[in-house]
Structure 1
């Protein structure tokens, strides 16, 4: 009974700390956006050359890829024009078609807050305007990359804030650009969409630009603030299947197995998705826990890494799991069994991609497949 009482106190403390750490206001409860994108009903009713279109909810990404492989260019273009929101979010569809479809989908919203996403030089791999909005963007040349990394962010990230001004090297965009630059790629994305390493050099980049592509994936409904949504696993449980399907879509179009870089609450999503992805590496940093007691309990063939800086406030969040509250063991603990990423020079909760830090250097080595 005494032990049960201590557990209750610890769980209550977890809610208190998560709700109040660093002066952040407790966030309002969010409704997770799940299921296929808007326009799915019209897509299901349509055909291409008399063939039924793959169901966005039921078809696997590999089935989607095989379907598009059997279409000519005219049929593909017609589907992009008629169903941009579906094609743009359809895992397994050709990458270049998704870029084109999402430019059309973003423009069609007519909303100023999304206008920058429709710029010709953006490579938007997913865009869903429902709720606060979700978006995934490619930095580098995904179609020719030898290595792919995916940034999975934590709280307060969505399509409405995606292009908002932030401290350098933070947020999904800042992290993706910093990682690409650290791997030797071009932060200005010199390569044209659908181009080759040669195209990149002609455009002012280099052949090295094609070696690594980084995707900023804000593809799930994140918590707002650091309140109860951030302390429980409901939104992570809704986001994990979306991340797993997204990585399956990368596999379906021939991309290399990705390295997942999972920040804060994003590491909870990665922990729940781990067994369902073909990731080569899963890196948890600034993590409140991964909903597993050990790295082995993630049931993944990926190498599991963890980092936490000395001044990261996440260390003040108790690593408990009780009645759905808390995310369990500290991934940086020896008992968890993850490989440690050096982070002694990281400042705060969002400084892991700051140029010159040991964490960013280690992340770049992981992204380039240089660590075994």
Structure 2
């Protein structure tokens, strides 16, 4: 017999209190890990709308600046002795890579394009979750490459995928990963970037896709954004009670694979410190949240963009404006 609802809620509340005591309290006053130094990025001109050839020329100039910023950051990291970071940055600065922006300070921020943004009529903006940084960037980029390839190969779409690492992602099981604080800080930057995309590609269909903690960022940024869909996958919650609270005309989708450990995260929201809450509230997969649910197969938390997978194909369908397989 299942325990009463009140008992279940009490257990979740106690679990949250234990997590707070075990994780949040010990890190108060703890020394922050030393940051790898990096130079300030070069100043760039805002992108402006124009015909595809003119926009492509602007983008090429921006990409060249991004590669130069990455190379400069790699040299500084080497001088500092952070050779692993330097190697990652040199890979990111390789020929043909298309970074609209890179800033290696404070853990690293970047915006990379996969595909031809100047001519794309389908644009996916991927927002990553925990533990995404220059040292682990290859995994994030591989997902963007797989999504763009699926859009072109299976749907014939003129598509660009943008990997938006515009915030300092929290570490798994850190205090920051249990509260929406980092997402609150990241949301204005994501909003500004999507507005810029709409300005240079006014006729393109733009989809916002947030994985894990990135889904919290997307939900908090979604208010009034000119996007066709907001996709929350592998989400621990959004900090909001319902899809209606995103205040968007976009279709809100949610998906979670059966092997994803994030399903075990208690869906609650409790006051922690003044102005801070522990947890992310209602499960986006709960019918009461009001999102449309799509099929995601039986993979794990990091498998949503695996080549050939069920969730990858359904995410591509959503980006293309098609109906995905439903959960």
- Residues 6-56 of structure 1: CA distance to partner in whole angstroms, max 9, x if unpaired? 877634513656999xxxxx9x8979x9xxx9368xx6xxxxxxxxx98xx
Q: Kindly provide the CA deviation profile for residues 158-213 of structure 1, in whole angstroms up to 9, marking residues without a partner as x.
A: 123213xxxxxxx3212111111221259xxxxxxxxxxxxxxxxxxxx94x7111
- Distance (Å, rounded) in 1 between the aligned partners of 2:147 and 2:20: 28
**1:264–1:243 Cα change, 3 Å:** same
1:303 pairs, out of 232, 243, 251, with 251
Aligned to 2:174: 227
Q: Are 2:269 and 1:316 equivalent residues in the alignment?
A: no
Query: Cα deviations across residues 127-179 of structure 1 (Å, max 9, x unaligned)?
Result: 0111111112111111100100011110000123213xxxxxxx321211111
CA offset at residue 354 of structure 1? 2.5
* RMSD, aligned CA: 3.5
User: C-alpha distance in 2, partners of 1:271/1:145?
Assistant: 24
Q: Which residue in 1 is equivalent to 2:134?
A: 159
Pick aligned residue for 1:327 from 266, 280, 283: 280
Structure with higher RCO (Cα < 8 A, 6+ apart): 1
Instruction: Say yes or no: does 1:148 pair with 2:129.
Output: no
- Confirm whether residue 172 of structure 1 aligns to residue 140 of structure 2: yes
Question: Which residue pairs with 1:254 in the alignment?
Answer: 201
| Structure 1 counterpart SS, 2:67 | helix
8 Å Cα contact 1:14-1:317 kept in structure 2: no
CA distance in 2, matches of 1:29, 1:151: 31
In structure 1, C-alpha distance between the alignment counterparts of 2:214 and 2:284, rounded to whole Å: 13
1:102 to 61, 66, 77: 66
Mapping 1:209-220, distance limit 5 Å:
211-220=158-167
Residue 148 of structure 1 aligns to a residue whose secondary structure is strand
Q: Is residue 2:95 matched to residue 1:120?
A: yes
Could you report, residue by residue, the CA deviation over 1:52-82 in whole angstroms, capped at 9, with x for unpaired residues? x98xxxxxxxxx446x98xxx9xxxxxxxxx
Name the CA distance, whole Å, in 2 between partners of 1:160 and 1:224.
Answer: 13
Give the counterpart of 2:300 among 334, 343, 348: 348
Question: Partners of 1:177 and 1:16 in 2: how far apart?
Answer: 40
Distance 1:16 1:125, change over 3 A: farther
Q: Secondary structure at the match of 1:242?
A: helix
Contact 1:342–1:359, Cα closer than 8 Å, also in 2: yes
- Does residue 187 of structure 2 align to residue 236 of structure 1? no
Partner of 1:365: 317
Q: Structure 2: give runs of 5+ residues left out of the alignment.
A: 78-85, 272-276
Corresponding residue SS for 1:142:
coil
Distance 1:318 1:103, change over 3 A: same
Specify the alignment match of 1:76 in structure 2.
none
Call closer, same or farther: CA 1:137–1:12 in 2, change over 3 Å. Answer: farther
CA–CA separation in structure 2 for the residues paired with 1:30 and 1:136: 25
Residue 5 of structure 1 and its aligned partner are, at CA, apart by 11
In the alignment, structure 1 segments of 5+ residues that lack a partner are 21-25, 44-52, 55-63, 74-92, 164-170, 187-206
Residue 254 and residue 148 in structure 1: after superposition, are their counterparts in 2 closer, same or farther (change >3 A)?
same
For 2:80, the equivalent position in structure 1 comes to none
Relative to structure 2, which stretch is displaced further, 303-312 or 110-119? Answer: 110-119
Count of residue pairs brought into register by the alignment: 290
Give 1:182's match in structure 2, choosing from 143, 150, 165: 150
